[in-house]
Amino acid sequence: MPNDTEDIVLNINHTRMAAALAEYKEVVAQFRNLTDIRFKLLTYLPLGTVAAVVVSKESQMTTQPAVALFGFVATLCIATYNKRNDQHYDELVARAAELEQQELGLTHGSFSQRPTSWLKYGPVPVEHRWPIGGIYAAATALWAYLFFKALVEENVPLPFAHLTMIIAPALVILGWLALRYIESFRRKRLRRAVLAVMDTLVATRPDTESPKRIVELAELISAKECLLGVDKKKAIRRLSYHWSAYTVTQDVASSSLLLSEVVDLPARWIRDIWTGRR
């Protein structure tokens, strides 16, 4: 009988390990795909922008405001797409690290031991995000310059036309810096909102007043609807559906999982925020 029990445990562990390894391979494959997409965009976007300007110059296409406006909008959309890919990229790295540490037993895994961005040249940090954003901002600024050049060159006195053509790309760069500030500010607000809800969840104890607790939590979550994207009615429905599983194994892991089910943010990200890892 003990041998049968041991065999069952070994089979369960083997199945779990095989499933974790299969997921790990898929996560790494998706990580490589996103990295490949990023490098292709970084290669083709600046080259394509310059090539389009050079080729269209002979056919006078750059004198048409619509062409430059199209390039401006297309670059802006690609930059937005890349920004969303960054979010997936971060989540894949976090999941791969979690699998390495908790499922595969890789203490010194490639993802769990990724070095932080420690190098700086004066105030300039050496990292991925701002150089990539700078390339998109430069390409967008070039299209803005061409748009206003085509728009004002023949219709506005020369000194004012030149001033307008200089101001347009400068405004794009300032806009990019403003967006970076907004992103940082919103990230901090989102972290504070998640921490506030997690503090309440972790401190909550199962009792006979579960409906009251659910309403209180729903009000707390809906108060941050602009950040968490969930109104009171939706929060109550989701909390009610997942509440029983949460009260059975109430801890940080179950609290972060419950909140993730309500606000559609990754449970491991929520847990890392609350424990101070991110």
Average pLDDT over residues 19-25: 92
pLDDT of residue 76 exceeding 70: yes
Which residues lie below 8 Å from residue 57, measured CB to CB, with a gap of 6+?
none
Closest CA to 62 of 201, 132, 134, 165: 165
- Collapsing DSSP to helix, strand or coil, 151 comes out as helix
Average pLDDT over residues 114-136: 89
Could you give the CA distance from residue 253 to residue 202 in angstroms, rounded to a whole number? Answer: 10
Do 46 and 135 meet the contact criterion of CB atoms below 8 Å apart? yes
Could you give the CA distance from residue 56 to residue 15 in angstroms, rounded to a whole number? Answer: 59
Question: Which range among 170-179, 200-209, 252-261 shows the weakest confidence by mean pLDDT?
Answer: 200-209
Element of type H or E holding 111: none
Confidence of residue 48 (pLDDT cuts 50, 70, 90): confident
Q: Comparing 245 with 100, which gets the higher pLDDT?
A: 100
Domain borders along the chain are 1-105, 184-278
Rg value, the chain, Cα: 25
pLDDT of residue 4 exceeding 70: no
pLDDT score for 208: 47
Question: Which range among 159-163, 173-177, 200-204, 260-264 shows the weakest confidence by mean pLDDT?
Answer: 159-163
Which residues lie below 8 Å from residue 235, measured CB to CB, with a gap of 6+?
217, 218, 221, 222, 262
Could you give the CA distance from residue 25 to residue 118 in angstroms, rounded to a whole number? Answer: 28
Q: Token pair for residue 137? A: 């901002």
Mean pLDDT, all residues of the chain: 85
Q: Comparing 146 with 5, which gets the higher pLDDT?
A: 146
Average pLDDT over residues 53-79: 79
Question: Which range among 10-14, 17-21, 113-117, 205-209 shows the weakest confidence by mean pLDDT?
Answer: 205-209
- Collapsing DSSP to helix, strand or coil, 115 comes out as coil
- Collapsing DSSP to helix, strand or coil, 121 comes out as strand
pLDDT of residue 244 exceeding 70: yes
Do 151 and 160 meet the contact criterion of CB atoms below 8 Å apart? no
Confidence of residue 7 (pLDDT cuts 50, 70, 90): low
pLDDT score for 67: 83
Q: 170-194: per-residue pLDDT in tens?
A: 999 999 999 999 999 999 999 999 9
Element of type H or E holding 71: helix 65-98
Closest CA to 207 of 246, 255, 235: 246
Q: Token pair for residue 242? A: 């997942």
pTM: 0.82
Q: Token pair for residue 196? A: 């506030």
In sequence order, the β-bridge partners of residue 121 are 124
Q: Comparing 5 with 82, which gets the higher pLDDT?
A: 82
Confidence of residue 51 (pLDDT cuts 50, 70, 90): confident
Element of type H or E holding 100: none
